[in-house]
Amino acid sequence: MKNKNPKLSLLSEHQRSAATREIINFFSTEMDDEIGLIAAEDILDMFLDRIGNSLYNKGVEDAIHYAKEQHQRIAFDMEMILKK
Q: What are the residue ranges spanned by the domains of the chain?
A: 13-80
* pLDDT over 90 at 3, yes or no: no
- Say which DSSP state 6 is in: T
Does 1 score more than 60 pLDDT? no
pLDDT band at 9 (very low <50, low <70, confident <90, very high): confident
Using an 8 Å Cβ cutoff, are 42 and 49 in contact?
Answer: no
Q: For residue 73, is pLDDT > 70? A: yes
Backbone angles phi, psi at 35, to 5 degrees: -125, 155
Average of per-residue pLDDT values in the chain: 91
Does residue 8 register a pLDDT over 60? no
| Band (22; pLDDT cuts 50, 70, 90) | very high
- Answering whether pTM is above 0.95, one says no
Q: Are 36 and 77 within 8 A, CB to CB?
A: no
- pLDDT for position 84: 78
